[in-house]
Amino acid sequence: MNWIKFILWLSGLYTAYYLILIAWDNLRNRQVNIADETKELSFSEDIEAISLKPELTSGEIGSSLYASGGVSLKNMFNLCRDEAVEYIKQVSF
């Protein structure tokens, strides 16, 4: 027996072994599924949609900049030049 025949026999035996295991599992699962059809769990929930309201309105916020929704980068530099930006903490670079 040479190496090619040995490898072919070995791969054939492994293939047959794993095919037998797969067939055995399939047969076993069919028998279990037939016996356990009434034991299937299912869940359902009734979900109602809710509308979200904003937490803060522009009247409750004192600053017009915060309520404006933001500015572009060019406008941000213009506001910094005009000293219209309120710094709340130090900026690190």
Residue spans per domain, the chain: 3-37
Task: Tell which wins on pLDDT, 37 or 2.
Answer: 2
Is residue 33 scored above 60 in pLDDT?
A: no
- Tens digits of residue pLDDT in 51-71: 877 776 655 555 555 545 577
Report the alpha-carbon distance of residue 84 to residue 78 in Å, rounded.
9
